[in-house]
A and B are shown apart, each in its own frame.
Chain A
Amino acid sequence: MLKMAVLAKQVPDTKHVAVDVMKPDGTLNRAALPAIFNPEDLHALELALRVKDRVGGHVTVITMGPPGAASILRDSLARGADAGVLLTDRRLAGSDTLATSLALAAAVQKISPLDLVLSGRQAIDGDTAQTGPQTAEKLGLPQVAYVEAVREVSSTRITLFRRLGRHAEVVESPLPVFITVTTDAGEARPPRAKRLLKYRRARVLSELRGELSKGGLNGEELERRLAAESAKLQEAGLLLPTWGVDELGLDPNRVGLAGSPTKVKRCENVVLKTGEYKQIEPNEDGARKLIAELVHDHILG
């Protein structure tokens, strides 16, 4: 029986490069990107669930983001996770990887002791692969990155297959350990119908509040209904906890923009540019002309 935490992120689908998410000037309209479960975090969850299949255990998924990120907690629960926690707070916004790792480490500490902490190698919006190792450092845990498979696992040790560039290794580590998982790991299991049905109703408090106020409630009546509804969800195990800066015991100066050593000086949208461009006919004549030109310019020998 292993107690595990999976750190997951909801991200804009940056791979979704299609006309419907482009602005007229040819740059990306970030707001139009659909939000998805970061792929490598999904693989991390899958690895945790496979460990659970083998030796039993408990998997908590932790995500940091705006209230909408709760949807990946529901997704995780539907796939087999046992609990989900949302870290959300306006003061966390703008956190770089260092600040984020502080918040994530605090959340992991709150549910410690744990045997295994997992996350995807990197998120498809930042692509830094830094948050995992930085969280591991703050937790004082050894780290094994680029994991593709769990070979063996017991209550005290785990054997992992990981790829470090040119070399692949089989690495043994005592527990607890922090691992990051890549897309080369096994395919993630889909949500199970029964769990999907059950966890569809799971909510964080702020989502519930939003839904009730959209339904026309406000003031005292809203608060009364909110208390009643949340109590019902709580009893059914469907109220997902929300932790902010205070619950995590964080120093506000060490998170958010203030706590981020890296600053964005400027961001330039990539535009599909045209430089010098020559159209070549797809026939034999065109082929000859192209080859001749490339040879003439010493591009081809």
Chain B
Amino acid sequence: MGGKSKSVLRLSMIMLLSLGVILSGCGGNNASKAGKSNTGEQEADGPFEITAFIGEAGQQPTPDNKIYKKIKDELGVTFKFEFLAGDINQKLGVMIAGSDYPDIMTANTKLTAAGAFIPLEDLIEEHAPNLKKHYEKYWNMMKDPNDGHIYTLPNYGAYNGEVASTWYSGPAFWIQKAVLKEFGYPKVKTLDEYFDLIAKYKEKYPTIDGSPTIGFEILNYDWKNWGLFNAPQHLIGHPNDGGVVVKDGKAEIFANKDYAKKYYQKLNDMNQLGLIDKETFTQNFDQYMAKISSGTVLGMFDQHWNFQSAENALITQEKLERTYVGLPLVYDPSIRDHYRDRAALNLNNGFGISVNAKDPVRILKMWDRLIQEDWQKILTWGIEGEDYIVNEKGRFLRTEEQRKKTTDATWELANKAKTLYASSPKLEGYFSDGNATDAAAQPEEYQAGLKPYDKEFLAAYGFESYVDFFSDPPENPIYYPAWSVDLVEGSEAKIVNTKLNDLSTKYLPQAILAKPGEFDKVWNEYTGEIGKLNVKAYEERINEVLQWRIDTWTVK
């Protein structure tokens, strides 16, 4: 008897518990909804938390981060960052499906298409005079070609005055400094010369620090596909336009052109010589970075910012001779290189304010405050006296110790507002007192920061900085760059683009690894498959937007 009633009791307990779980699940939802509507009426100066979604992986700043603390003390604003973990499309899909947006999000055409951002142009005009001034010249460019509203605030490319540059972060054929030094600092112009040097060096030094020397790396992992796809357009002297080459304002794909074939044929030859890493097409990004940080990779085609943290690791290990120089290679010395370009407005990047934001005006006012010079100095240089010093001429400088700290990732988390700054509107070029907006671009800072090895290296070439390896960029055409064209989610153009990338991902590695006699066969199969796609739809969409840019952006 006792046993029976006990088991009934136990059953009812389980029932209660499971009901409780369900009810609390529902209850939680309601509570959070209620919370949202309550916070709608915020005081203008009270503490204000901004929730932010960052569309890439990152690290949370430390809770006592000094810049965020300063922002909190002076503007009353705190941030709660959510970084991407996993796949961006899946994450966005979930966010969009539930209309579950934080206050601000980094730009993505999917979010724009889903109507997740609020139009900003009127709010900026009304509440943010400094932002308006900052973007004045670029106002029309920021408008969405599909409906003419401004949804996101480009984070890079809005310059005041001249562009300061001692640092090149774009695409190039990179080569270890040790290779150039070994052969007496030659001037390398063409692809053939480049691979000759690598072949000679690899033969002479089959191992580096005990590990086998790797001649050339081609990264093609997930969305980081330019290592495999993008080189041909540069080799014929065009700037980075993504998947197309624009000639006289007309865009066409280059994946199946003869000048592309020439490049992959060369890679095929180099593979016969054993210069290309066997695992190059199966590796993931982490493996790629690990190889570069080990100092065994002689060269690769990549964008500087992409492998920069691996290069920083080499600097930390004091293996300066294993760091890289970017070379603007072309097929023929008569072609003028156009790797380095004048910065264009970074469209489809930077923050936008979501439709769920509690107080968009307050957020805009925060940016309006941060775009002013005093705050920009704090965000880039840091706190005067702590992170940099001002000499008697009013120039900003850093001591050796301060300089060293900035390369330390852990220090950065506690002393820099890196995440916020990277995607926020920012001043670029020079402050009104003549100091560069970026410490790395301050000429005396750059020279003082050079290690003896680099000084010797640059002196051998007679250059001021590594940027001098590149030709001066010509004026950009008004429509440049084509890679920032929004292909429109779900359109035929976008599908063709995806298929084109699929084909390249599949066939180009095959072509490069093919036996000598079979290269042509694979190549023909590849171009045959491309021929089956509706490439026209893709090219037409790009040309349509380029034309729209010419019409709308031209200053009349």
Are A and B interaction partners?
A: no
Residues on B facing A (Cβ under 8 Å) = none
Residues on A facing B (Cβ under 8 Å) = none
